[in-house]
Amino acid sequence: MADNFTKFSFLIKNATKKEVAWLEEVLAYDFEDQEQRPFLLEMLHTSRGLESTFEFWPDFDHVLPDLTSRDPRARCLWVYAPESGNPWTAAVLVHAFLSKFRPKEIVRFSVAYSCSKMRPDEFSGEDFIVTAQGIFRTGGIGIKMCEALAAQQQQRIRWDGLDIIVRPRKASKPGRKVR
């Protein structure tokens, strides 16, 4: 039997007193408590449908910013999963945070999917790109790249507000350098 792991680690830098107070509150909610759950979902700007994607809250580890420290790293929110966590719930937190406090910022973090045994196709990764407007994942891009190369035709990936076009490059003439 093999164990699978989902790992990630990232910072949200330069937290303010108001941001830290909000983070403390939202990260203290107990998702299992039926009375607290609606308040948490409201703070995270989530719809009722999103509830089903949350098994646990927060389902990642974190270190809150220490605003009394002179060390810039200590003044950051650190979100991480040392063994296994849910990058989606981390992205939802970041989305709500950016929506409330930093609507023009973009946070990108990488996720590693690994396994305790060497098994085919048990290792991969993806990036999460989070803005105040949405949460985007790069996991589907590799599939579309394979489809474009196999079919030698352009493929389109549609995300909320984004169209990403993947097309194979035309073969270059002999002797010409490909950029």
Given this model, what pLDDT does residue 81 score? 94
The token duo for 130 is: 């989070």
User: Nearest to residue 136, comparing CAs of 153, 111, 100?
Assistant: 111
Query: Which is more confidently placed, 153 or 80?
Result: 80
List pLDDT tens digits, range 104-118. 999 999 999 888 888
90 pLDDT band, cuts 50/70/90, is very high
pLDDT band at 18 (very low <50, low <70, confident <90, very high): very high
pLDDT of residue 48: 47
Query: Which pLDDT belongs to residue 172?
Result: 63
Residue 50 in this model has a pLDDT that exceeds 60: no
Verdict on whether the full-model pTM lies above 0.85: no
Mean pLDDT of 1-13: 88
User: How far is residue 105's CA from residue 101's CA, in Å, rounded to a whole number?
Assistant: 9
H helices of the chain, in order, are 17-28, 37-43, 87-101, 139-151
* 163 Cβ contact partners less than 8 Å away, ≥ 6 residues apart: 156, 157
pLDDT tops 90 at residue 20: yes
Give the per-residue pLDDT at 111. Answer: 94
Q: Which amino acid is at 34?
A: Q
**Cα torsion at 44, 50, 52, 54 (round to 10°)?**
-30
Give bridge partners of residue 126 from the DSSP assignment: 111
**Least confident window among 34-38, 52-56, 155-159, 168-172:** 52-56
Place of tokens 């589907």: 140
Confidence of residue 160 (pLDDT cuts 50, 70, 90): low
Q: What is the pLDDT of residue 170?
A: 74
How many C-beta neighbours within 10 Å does residue 169 have? 8
> 39 φ, ψ to 5°?
-65, -40
From 134, 110, 106, select the one nearest 124 (Cα to Cα): 110
| End-to-end Cα spacing for the chain | 45
Instruction: Return the percentage of the chain with pLDDT > 90, whole number.
Output: 36
What's 104's DSSP letter?
T
